[in-house]
């Protein structure tokens, strides 16, 4: 008989759990009915189902519940205020078309406004359209924004629009699988840490991502294209930026500004005005990236030094590196990088060049000033000029130097990324 006592002791707890589960109710809202009234009637833990239809609503959610669309109903804020405002933790919003927020930048009008303290909010599988800010998320931790399609108020000038997703003073956010376009910045991240940004497609905005004062974040497998800038990381440290694609942006692909202790690896940066813009950056690893067909492959300045730059492919950039510095900067000490305009040789066949590559030699400077010189790059006279300039220090300027560059690119798919330029 004693062996059954533990099960009997646990019975009250099991009954309490079952009672709690039984108490969770589902409320259904049909066209013509009031969504806010159903939310007000619901208890914590309940589900409000909204049937397919058009509902004029500015919703306020102050209790933990699930607001779920059936057949993708539309909630319109009537171009006033926030379409949905969340003030409780543990709220899930899914399967809805949320549109028509107000246009007051001072009030931060949003399709979905997640207020301070609304921790663990989930917004997934929604279309958020014609909203000033798609989602404004402030001082709320462990928020998930998953598989949403977010567009802004297209008729407004860029400076008058809000951002697609704005994170301010958050921890542990997951922003994954979203498509964001026609906003000011697709993702704006400030003072937000330990977040994951994965598999998002960010386009036709000012910046695909504008990232400031944020630490210990992962940026992975995202596409940023046809923006003014693809990815801008500023005043940050302890970032991992890998396997992303930034292409066809009218200014830069990836901007690294005032960054330390980060890993930037295996990204494709193609067809931008400037591939990488690197300013005041130290102690990062820049490895395995493909930098191709940009007007400037890398713009490097402001004491960006003590970085590990290895196994990158620099191919077909009109200007491989634009370097502003007082002394040579050595890249590729361990494994080297590939430079498509390297004119050296590999006598021992080890796959590494026998003479250093210099990014800013006399011939490069002539090409910058007189692009027609490119027609003569393979001529013996120009090659002789390149060699002579290395023998006379007065003719040199500080340069990025790769002691033994790689003779072949590491990425076999490099040619697929040609011609990815900004439209028009």
Q: What is the DSSP string of 168-210?
A: ES-BS-EEES-EEESSSEEEEEES-BS-EEES-EEESSSEEEE
| pLDDT surpasses 90 at 343 | no
The pLDDT-based confidence of 16 (bands split at 50, 70, 90) is very low
pLDDT given for residue 416 in this prediction: 95
Distance of CA 314 to the CA centre of its chain: 22
pLDDT digits over 259-295, tens only?
999 999 999 999 999 999 999 999 999 999 999 999 9
- Which residues, other chains included, contact 278 with Cβ-Cβ below 8 Å and sequence gap of 6+? 256, 257, 298, 299, 300, 301, 304
- Which segment of 35-44, 246-255, 365-374 scores lowest on mean pLDDT? 365-374
Q: What is the average pLDDT across 176-186? A: 98
Alpha carbons 274 and 317: distance in angstroms, whole number: 9
pLDDT at 363: 62
Q: What percentage of residues in the chain have a pLDDT greater than 90?
A: 79
Per-residue pLDDT for 3 more than 50? no
Q: Is the pLDDT score of 220 beyond 70?
A: yes
Cα–chain center distance at 182: 15
pLDDT, averaged across the chain: 90
- Please report which confidence band the pLDDT of residue 326 belongs to, taking 50, 70 and 90 as the band edges: confident
Banded model confidence at residue 14, pLDDT cuts 50, 70, 90: very low
- List pLDDT tens digits, range 127-153: 999 999 999 999 999 999 999 999 999
Whether residue 70 contacts residue 52, with contact meaning beta carbons closer than 8 Å, is answered with yes
Residue 368 pLDDT class (50, 70, 90 cuts): low
pLDDT at 4 over 80: no
Per-residue confidence (pLDDT) for residue 189, from 0 to 100: 97
Q: 10 Å Cβ neighbour count for 360? A: 23
Q: Could you tell me the pLDDT band of residue 8, with boundaries at 50, 70 and 90?
A: very low
- Residue corresponding to tokens 């933790």: 89
The token duo for 250 is 């009218």
Predicted confidence band at 398 (pLDDT cuts at 50, 70, 90)? confident
- pTM (2 decimals)? 0.88
Given a cut of 50, whether residue 15 has pLDDT beyond it is no
Q: What percent of the chain has pLDDT over 70?
A: 86
3-state secondary structure of 287: strand
Q: What is the pLDDT of residue 423?
A: 86
What's the rounded Cα separation, in Å, for the pair 352 and 67?
60
Output the pLDDT for position 399. Answer: 86
Distance CA 373, CA 242 (A): 36
Q: Distance between CA atoms of 61 and 309, rounded to whole angstroms?
A: 49
């Amino acid at each position: 008989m004693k062996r059954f006592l533990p099960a009997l002791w646990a019975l009250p707890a099991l009954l309490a759990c079952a009672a709690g589960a039984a108490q969770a109710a589902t409320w259904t809202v049909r066209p013509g009915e009031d969504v806010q009234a159903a939310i007000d009637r619901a208890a914590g833990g309940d589900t409000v189902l909204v049937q397919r239809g058009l509902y004029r609503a500015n919703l306020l959610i102050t209790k933990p519940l699930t607001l779920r669309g059936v057949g993708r109903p539309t909630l319109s804020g009537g171009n006033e205020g926030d379409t949905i405002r969340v003030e409780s933790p543990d709220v899930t919003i899914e399967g809805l078309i949320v549109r028509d927020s107000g246009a007051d930048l001072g009030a931060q009008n949003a399709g979905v406004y997640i207020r301070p303290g609304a921790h663990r909010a989930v917004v997934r599988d929604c279309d958020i359209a014609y909203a000033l800010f798609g989602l404004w998320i402030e001082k709320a931790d462990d928020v998930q924004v998953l598989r949403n399609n977010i567009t802004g108020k297209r008729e407004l000038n860029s400076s008058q629009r809000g951002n697609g997703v704005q994170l301010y003073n958050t921890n542990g956010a997951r922003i994954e699988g979203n498509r964001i376009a026609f906003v000011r910045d697709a993702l704006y991240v400030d003072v937000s840490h330990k977040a994951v940004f994965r598999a998002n497609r960010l386009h036709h905005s000012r910046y695909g991502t504008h990232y400031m004062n944020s630490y210990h974040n992962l940026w992975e497998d995202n596409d940023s294209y046809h923006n003014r800038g693809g990815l801008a990381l500023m005043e940050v440290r302890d970032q991992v930026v890998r396997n992303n694609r930034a292409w066809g942006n009218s200014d830069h692909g990836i901007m690294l500004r005032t960054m330390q202790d980060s890993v930037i690896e295996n990204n494709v940066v193609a067809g931008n005005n400037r591939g990488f813009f690197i300013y005041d950056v130290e102690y990062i690893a820049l490895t395995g990236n493909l930098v191709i067909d940009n007007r400037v492959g890398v713009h490097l300045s402001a004491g960006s030094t003590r970085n590990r730059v290895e196994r990158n492919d620099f191919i077909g950039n009109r200007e491989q590196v634009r370097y502003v510095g007082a002394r040579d900067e050595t890249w590729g000490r361990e494994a080297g990088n590939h430079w498509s305009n390297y004119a050296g040789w590999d006598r021992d066949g080890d796959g590494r060049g026998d003479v250093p590559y210099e990014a800013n030699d006399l011939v490069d400077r002539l090409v910058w000033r007189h692009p027609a010189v490119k027609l003569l790059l393979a001529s013996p006279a120009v090659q002789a000029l390149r060699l002579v300039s290395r023998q006379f220090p007065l003719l040199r300027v500080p340069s990025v130097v790769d002691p033994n560059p790689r003779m072949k690119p590491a990425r076999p798919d490099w040619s697929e990324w040609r011609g990815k330029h900004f439209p028009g």
